[in-house]
Structure 1
């Protein structure tokens, strides 16, 4: 049986949303009177389209699936040690620092 994973279109939509927000924030922070120090007009970060190829999206989906699976397993271990049958937010909060260091 194949593991259920995130859909590449969903991950791509999330990436595009983040890229758009960062571009808008960058434009807002630079202001209208900022001088562009890039050599040519086509080399500016604002003018380059941001994209991800299919393999990068598949890999991102797999990495996210592994991250979520590991988080749930670690939180379940903590919940089981406490004698609780349900994972709650405090279990995730306790495993998050080490999980982020491991990934």
Structure 2
């Protein structure tokens, strides 16, 4: 594993938190829409979401490339302004185009 790579377990935990939040939001929305309905939830929506090892590795690599590209673009802006440090304003300036590119 590359020394600057993201930890797959960290990415798995971040995904798990996001999936739990989305599931609880869906559940709240579904309960408000179907208050009168009764019955067990046996659909796919009731199951936990997970990611296999290859998906986590790919997600880590994508995140690494995204961060690397953001740093390079922000450094270019900082250098053009004569700054030796990347500041939040440099990241703010490159972020819209970076998100469109990815």
TM class by smaller structure: 0.7 to 0.9
Distance of 2:81 and 2:32 partners within structure 1: 56
Distance of 2:71 and 2:18 partners within structure 1: 25
Q: CA deviation at 1:33?
A: 5.9
TM-score (norm. length: structure 1): 0.86
Superposed, which structure 2 residues align to 1:5-24 within 5 Å?
5-24=5-24
2:60 counterpart of 1:74 = no
TM-score (norm. length: structure 2): 0.87
Q: Return structure 1 stretches of 4+ with deviation > 3 angstroms.
A: none
Superposed, which structure 2 residues align to 1:40-55 within 5 Å?
41-45=41-45, 47-55=46-54
CA distance 1:42–1:24, shift in 2 (3 Å): same
Distance of 2:41 and 2:67 partners within structure 1: 41
SS of corresponding position for 1:52: coil
Give ranges in structure 1 of 5+ residues lacking alignment.
none
SS of corresponding position for 2:91: helix
Give ranges in structure 2 of 5+ residues lacking alignment.
none
Q: CA deviation at 1:59?
A: 0.2
Q: Deviations over 1:45-103 (max 9, x none)?
A: 1x222000000000000000000000000000000000000111110010001101110
CA distance 1:29–1:50, shift in 2 (3 Å): same
Count of aligned pairs between the two proteins: 98
